[in-house]
A and B are shown apart, each in its own frame.
Chain A
Amino acid sequence: MTIAISGGNATAQAGPRAIDHRWGATLVAAPPDRSVSLSFTGIDAFLALGIVPTAYRAWYGGDARGLWPWSAARMAPDATPVVLRGEIDAETVARLEPDFVEATYSGISRAQYAALSRVAPVLPARTGSGDFGATWEEMLTGIGEATGRAKKAEEVIADIEGRISSIRAAHRDWDGQTAIVALPSGPTIFGQSDPRMLLLTKLGFRLPETAGKLSLGAFSFKLDPELTAPLEADVVIWLDFGSGFDTVRDNPLRGGLRIVRDGREIAADQTLSAALSYASPLSIPYALDRLVPLLEVALDGDPETVVTGAREAGLVR
């Protein structure tokens, strides 16, 4: 996908590089000084490469700067990047005088791409990735190439892949087990292409067939509350975006669920839910640290062991 100048083991390789993407190719002249990141999780990718962008987009939650623990720890305390919130406004971006605009996971339209391209080189998603289909690897690789830190990007990816494969090697029994990641409201089940499910797939899990069929390939779908069969996976991870787990607890059909009887539910608190949802090179290591022990307890085959947090969430009496 790249016609980048190759080689060089300096931290930042200099020189112009062209990056192919869904709407053509973008030429970045030199390692940019003033990068603006419009991706919802872009700040994590920049920080993972050791770059503090001029401005970045806050997705949701976090501290006053829109940073969660995994990224706040990596941000230089004296750095004062601009935090963008809400919709993208080309004028606001232009006032920041960027020399590179990163937008792989931003949902920008082709018209917005054209408008922003008059301000600076813009990097949207790759061909085939769609508006929100860019994986964290794609984002990191693209930013690495544009900023001359392709090597560093490769190292970060290899690092995380190494961690994932060692976890998988230590948990061979997870291979082929089914997992559901869902929001209590609905419930809303995340599909195979969702970043949260992609991570679980890498650990060996798969979406149950019933849920896969209903998802029709979408990022998520709302399950008819009458149906419980699609929830009967080997493990269910409930996410909390702030409204808690009451909806799960109050489901009138809960009593008949095998996942409930066997204690195979994980109630991911807000920070873990965000880490799984960001699915960024910084949030994934955090998420793995916290999720793996929970998965071990949920899948230990013993209904008596209680997954940490499940009782507090009201999922275990």
Chain B
Amino acid sequence: MFGARPGVGLADLSALLSSAEMRDANGIVVAEMRLPRTLGGLLAGGALGCAGALIQTLTRNPLADPGLLGVNAGAALGIVASVTVFGPLPSGALAMPALAGGFTALLAVWAVGAAARSPLTLVLAGAALTALLGALLRSLILLDPFALDAYRDWAVGALDGVRSGLLVVPAILAAIGAGLAVPAARRLDALALGDDLAQALGANLVAARLLTLAAVGILAAAAVLVAGPLAFVGLVAPYLARATGVQTSLALAIVSAGFGAALLLTADIAGRIVAPGIVIEAGLGVTLIGGTFLILLVRRQARNPA
């Protein structure tokens, strides 16, 4: 309903039922642009919201973000390195290097996480790796203007370029991630009591952590493939979810996914309303909305310390 093209309305939804050859221009816009864009927003926002809830519960750190595990930094480096080696690539060709980079980074943090005794070690490992990869990335983009362009375009985080063909791999990843998230969330509830008590109750700490990490990493990878590295969605959605009074980790993850999807779509649509005709990337809207929200939240907490 919200977009730059004049005259596209509910009636054009019928295009979704007709065959590709029969569609008029407005039908093409609905079926091949707005629908994939919306699905991409639901998928990326939902994955980030869910991953954010899991990582915040796991690390017991309310500022934890799915990007903390190095997935975004790894994906960014994958894109920049491939452009440095192969020269400029069409945006569709950037998915593979992003995926490879993201998963490599995730495995590295995972390896540390397997040995980690506390969630803090994990957060530190992710932060250290992110810093290291960031340094490598900066040295590459300083030397290659094309790598800089590719990085700049991708790093904002956007949904405008999402086409249905680009959603297959992320959808599979999101499904796997969501599948892992359910048992992970169940185990996290036991962990919330503290490591010692959880162990005394017979919970397998390492297994719970690795499972959660895998779910978070795969969900974050799904999101980064669709929309680039979006800040704040995974951070803010769990806050909104907690405000609804959900109790278990699983409920929190599910409600967070809903809020994440809603936040991302709102940001994308807001961009289209603010400046019809030109592209205001969803990443900008998310940062504005999410950032404002976070500041308000911190102020309120400062006034009424829990």
Contacts and interface: CB of A to CB of B under 8 A. Distances in A.
A247 B143 contact: no
B245 interface: no
A247 B90 contact: yes
Interface in A174-231: 184-186, 214, 221-228, 230
A82 interface: no
Given A226-B29, A252-B32, A214 B143 contact: no
A253 B90 contact: no
A66 to B, nearest CB: 11
Contact of A227 (B5, B32, B87): B5
A252 B88 CA distance: 22
A214 B92 CA distance: 26
Interface in B1-31: 3-5, 8, 24-25, 28-29
A185 B153 contact: yes
Interface stretch (B182-190, B206-214, B272-280, B288-296): B272-280
A98 interface: no
A226 B3 contact: yes
Nearest to A257: B25
A226 B5 contact: yes
A195 B6 CA distance: 31
A242 B88 contact: yes
Contact of B279 (A85, A223, A230, A242): A223
- The winner among B25, B142, B272, B276 for most chain A CB atoms within 10 A is B25
Contacts of B278: 214, 221-224
A246 B25 contact: no
B179 interface: no
A225 B87 contact: no
A87 B142 contact: yes
B119 interface: no
Nearest to B271: A224
B25 A225 contact: no
B156 to A, nearest CB: 10
Nearest to A222: B279
Interface residues of B, number: 31
Interface string B101-143: 0000000000000000000000000000000000000000011
Contacts of A225: 33, 160-161, 279
Nearest to B150: A243
Interface string A251-281: 0110010000000000000000000000000
- The winner among B90, B146, B272 for most chain A CB atoms within 10 A is B90
B28 A246 contact: no
Contacts of B248: none
A128 interface: no
A227 B88 contact: no
B146 A241 contact: yes
B199 interface: no
B91 interface: yes
Nearest to A214: B277
Contacts of B145: 59-60
A77 interface: no
A87 to B, nearest CB: 5
B88 A224 contact: no
B89 interface: yes
B277 A223 contact: yes
Interface string B61-104: 00000000000000000000000000111111000000000000
B203 to A, nearest CB: 49
A242 B143 CA distance: 17
A227 B4 contact: yes
B276 A224 contact: yes
Contact of B160 (A85, A221, A224, A241): A224
A246 B161 CA distance: 14
Contacts of B8: 226
A237 to B, nearest CB: 18
Contacts of B92: 246
Contacts of B276: 224
A86 interface: yes
B4 A253 contact: no
A241 B83 CA distance: 12
A241 B153 CA distance: 15
B33 A226 contact: yes
A176 to B, nearest CB: 24
A39 to B, nearest CB: 14
A244 interface: yes
Given A59-B145, A60-B145, A241-B88, A224 B277 contact: yes
A87 B138 CA distance: 11
Contacts of A60: 145-146
A86 B142 contact: yes
A189 B306 CA distance: 52
A221 B89 CA distance: 20
B139 to A, nearest CB: 9
Given A214-B278, A226-B33, A242 B3 contact: no
17 contacts: A59-B145, A87-B142, A185-B90, A185-B91, A185-B153, A222-B279, A223-B278, A224-B277, A225-B33, A225-B160, A226-B3, A226-B5, A241-B88, A241-B149, A242-B88, A247-B91, A252-B32
Interface of B: 3-5, 8, 24-25, 28-29, 32-34, 87-92, 142-143, 145-146, 149, 153, 160-161, 163, 272, 276-279
